[in-house]
Amino acid sequence: MKDILDEKDKRLHEKSLDVTFPLKDEDKKTINDIIELLTNSQIPELAEKYNLRPGMGLAAIQLGIKKRYFVVVHEYDEGKFDNYVIINPKIISTSEEMIYVGEGEGCLSVNREVCGIVPRHARITLEAYDMDGNKIKVRGREELAIAFQHEIDHLNGILFVDHIDKKNPFKNKDLYREI
């Protein structure tokens, strides 16, 4: 698998392009590699063995592939994972309620501690396509909703650090619920 781009790489600030179907074999392989990487990174013994930073999601652009797809591997129970392969996503609804990650969001492309609030919708519904080109509708709440919004930002050339107010990183904290 290709190396994950660092935040200094200009490609991370470019908008990714829609994927056409059928999916190319190289994209299928990349998606399966991402699933394996993200799963292993969330299993402490494997993360240590392979020297992986824990990660829940990865967008194609983070590997230098300028295509609108991402993968989220969500550990919903100890050692149990749901894999979300999201291609050409569109947000079709969001909650009014806003939340943020108390200890701060992280990103496999941002190799430093970042403090501050990234306001996110508590619930989100996406329309997208699966690997076979079938239209799907996916809902996320809380942590999963944050992951979806974080990865969609990547597809639009936005990093989570871009959302944090530089002068006042905890601006409007009282307006959002911490998770």
Spatial separation of the C-alpha atoms in residues 17 and 69, rounded to whole Å: 9
Which helix (H) or strand (E) segment holds residue 37: the answer is: helix 25-41
Spatial separation of the C-alpha atoms in residues 160 and 27, rounded to whole Å: 25
In the beta sheet, which residues pair with residue 71? 58, 85
Tokens linked to 57: 């999601």
How far is CA 57 from each of CA 75, 97, 173, rounded to the nearest angstrom? 11, 23, 25
Which of these is catalytic: 7, 14, 151, 178?
151
Are 120 and 74 in contact by the 8 Å Cβ rule? The answer is no
Question: What is the DSSP-derived secondary structure letter of residue 166?
Answer: S
Catalytic-residue membership of 178: no
User: Do the bridges between strand 80-94 and strand 123-129 make them parallel or antiparallel, or are there none, so unpaired?
Assistant: antiparallel
**Residues recognised as catalytic:** 151
